[in-house]
Every structure is written in C-alpha cells, then in structure tokens.
Amino acid sequence: MIQIEYCGYHTHNPDRELIYRPSGTASYLFLLVLSPMNFQFSDRSSVHALPGACILYEPGTYQHYQAEDRFFNSYVHFFSEKTIIEQYNIQLNTLFYPVNTEEIHWLLKKIYQEFLNRQLPYREALSDLYVHQLLIQAAREQLQKKEPNRQYQNIYHELLSIRGQMLNSCEQPWCIDQLCKILNLGKSQLYKYYNTYFHCAPMDELIQARLQKVCFLLTNDAITIREAAYESGFQNINYFNRLFRKTFGCTPGEYRKNK
C-alpha cells in the first residue's frame, strides 16, 4: 500500500525560497508548480517552469528548484514499491505540462484532506486510491506530451509589469477595463491569469495596497484622515470608513491614536 509521508495543498513558502536536496528524499515526490520556478537537474541542465508544470521525483534523486518571485505549489511525498510506479510508465524526474491541471490539483487536495484528518476511518486506504488515481492521471497526461504555453510566459511578464505600476501608484483610478485594454485581454482572461500568477483578484490586491498606504499616511499627523484616504485612491469617504473598520476592526481615528 502507498503511504503518505507529507503533503501540502496550495502551499506558500517564503518568496524566492530555494529547495535544494542534492541527495533527494527517501520518498517519491509529486509536485505541481503554481508559480513560475526555475529547476536545475543533476546533469546541470536548467528549465524555467510555468504554473501548471508537474514532476515526479523518484527517491534519492537530486532536487533543486527556486521560485522566480512568490512561491506556491501543491505536492505529496509518498512511499511506494517501485513496481507500483513502473506499471504506469511515468517518465520520472522530468517536468511535464498536464492538459487537465484542475484534476491533478483536485486529487492533491483530496490527499491533503485525508492527511490532515487522521481520525477518519479507512483514511490510509482512501489515500492509497487517490495516489493511484494521481499516478494514472499523470501517466495519461504524459502520453499527450503537451508543451509549455509560451504565450502564458509572455503574458506573465506583461502582467507582472502592469501589476507593479498599479500597486506603486495605487492612488490612481485603476479599473478592470483599463487593465484589459493595456494587456489586450478579455475580463475572464485577465481574472484567470491574475489568479494563476498572483493568487488573488486585481482589484482586491489594489484595495489592499491602498489600505497599506493609508496606514502609512496616518502616521503623519499633519494630514487629515480624509486627505490620507484621497491620497491613497479612496474617493468615497463613507466607503473608505466602512472598509477600514471591516479590515482592521477599528476606525481610522482609533487606528491613528494607537500608533
């Protein structure tokens, strides 16, 4: 029976963290990449992996990968007899791009849920079945030999650039239509790519940037709360007050007094 050693679902490591295991691990590692990463292999080759890439490391194999910026992934370390893996003819220690990433991520989520709930009856049996299903899905995906989408890579860099402009000038009246026009994307595409790369919606992140700026400006007693809100991009003071209280549990005035 396959046994889970450790796993994670949509795990966030420190930005640009390096995973370096020159002797690998005692277990198999199935990894789903959720943010751009750079992989290096024992033959000194290197590969830039886009979100959606997968790899199955066999035990004792060199592991070396680092996030380009933010670090997100889902994974499972598991112990298995070699014959179980061999029956699926999976190409090991090699990045591949599944067509059905959602199915693989769902299976990793179910494995993670079983791992956390240690008191559930038949937990080990169900985990074994989920990993078998994960291996079958990986084997099917490798047969399709999907190539990384270079268009995604170009969009990532364009999106990263405009995201930086938006957050660095959060007081400007940014809107979804404006971002779509700059990037030449439809709204659904913009939301999809933004969530894939940055794991949030663009306007949600913009609001957080504005709130952070307000908090900084409130340390300056020379400006009023209303001025701090306007300078941070909030044009409706009533909306700002409601949002601030909901986010921080106090009014802007109370926040200022406590700082």
For the residues of 148-198, what is the DSSP string, one character each? P-HHHHHHHHHHHHHHHHHHHTTTS---HHHHHHHHT--HHHHHHHHHHHH
Return the ∠ at Cα 153 (arms to 149 and 155), rounded to 5°.
110
Any idea what DSSP says for residue 96? B
| Contact call for residues 233 and 171 (beta carbons, < 8 A) | yes
pLDDT mean over 23-43: 95
Name 174's Cβ contacts closer than 8 Å, sequence gap at least 6.
166, 203, 206
Residue 218 has pLDDT above 80, yes or no: yes
Give the mean pLDDT of 19-32. Answer: 97
Residue 83 pLDDT > 70: yes
pLDDT band at 152 (very low <50, low <70, confident <90, very high): low
- With a cut of 60, say whether residue 151 has pLDDT above it: no
Q: What is the pLDDT of residues 221-230, one digit of tens each?
A: 999 999 999 9
Residue (of 9, 207, 42, 20) closest to 109 by Cα position:
9
Phi-psi region of 4 (alpha: psi -120 to 50; beta: other; left: phi over 0): beta
Determine phi and psi for 27, rounding to 5 degrees.
Answer: -110, 170
Measure Cα distances from 17 to 8, 20, 184 in Å: 16, 10, 32
Burial class (CB in 10 A: 0-12, 13-18, 19+), 190: buried
Segment 16-39 mean pLDDT: 96
Assessment of whether the complete model's pTM goes beyond 0.85: no
pLDDT digits (tens, 9 = 90+) for 184-195: 899 999 998 888
Q: How confident is the model at residue 85 (pLDDT cuts 50, 70, 90)?
A: very high
Residues 6+ apart with CB under 8 A from 229: 214, 237, 240, 252
Query: Which of 33-47, 150-164, 229-243 is predicted with the least confidence, judged by mean pLDDT?
Result: 150-164
Can you give the pLDDT at residue 117? 86
